[in-house]
Structure 1
Amino acid sequence: MFNALLRISQIKSGVREKKFELIDISDVLSTIADIYVDVANDVNMTLSVVLPASPLYIQGDRELLIQQLANLVENSLRYCPKGSELFLVSKKEKEHVVIIMKDNGPGISEKERERVFECLYRINKVRNDGGIGIGLSLVKAVAELHKGEVKLYDCNPGLKVEICYPQM
């Protein structure tokens, strides 16, 4: 927990911007696929990662972008029931690179969607699932550091997380 809070503090201070380089977001998604496709299968879920036909470049910190997407996948793995289908997709929309993480789990109610980005906020505080309320705070902090935006949508059932970054 301490390391996660320290990382969020570093992100918000702008220190990590010094590590920015030109990154093909497809490489980041491929790394996530290499790590989590088998993990999802092990817990009777499916993770499908869809890469774009051509490279999509953003200026950023590769390590933080991997951590951001890992947090989203791990949240889906933690909160979705067995048999769930998870999708991670990247695409170009106008002048932006859009990353979408979508699942068919319980989702997040509309009234909770803004609060889940607060550090240490948990929807269900009595649940003992290993979550500590930092994952989505880090997701948002990484997006903001990269001049991006995070939005949450209801999938009926499930949650769709959309992250939009300026394309290089």
Structure 2
Amino acid sequence: MPVIMYTSDIQIRVRYAETDQMGYVYHGNYAAYFEVARTEAFRKLGINYKDMEADGVGMPVGELRTKFRRPARYDDLLTVRLLLRQPPEGARVLFEYEIYNEAGQLLTEGHTLMVFVKTATGRPVAMPANIQERLLPYFSEDEFDSPVLPTPGAIPPDAPAPAAFRK
């Protein structure tokens, strides 16, 4: 298995409004930084959130983790690195993140576990085929055909939605 399947870097300049009284980036802003990295990584792969949503598929956050190592401060130019180390598993995809300052110091690590859902019902659905096609070149066939991973379409249409995604 490759060490890293796919990486994508973006840069974000810390704005004054994103800092707290101590001059550090307020912790709540990291979720937004992760979202920007995710959206831009998908865009680089030719995947458009608007198209996915127009097709009735959403991708809400099922889990968010952030580990702060050093603070980011006003006017820092941050590099937010998104890493996909494993293929999506059925309806779930794990995005990992690393945030570096201009000196190359690791400031923050984190991940989001995203869940593909049918927007009309909030129920999990398999990763859309067009997204799988875009990701396939970054994994071996063995990784996508793993007996541990659910087969696309294996989630029954009447499966209950996870509590967090019920309307």
Tell me if both proteins adopt one fold, taking TM over 0.5 as the criterion.
no
Which structure has the greater CA radius of gyration?
Answer: 2
TM-score range, shorter chain: under 0.3
Q: TM-score, normalised by structure 1?
A: 0.27
Q: TM-score, normalised by structure 2?
A: 0.28
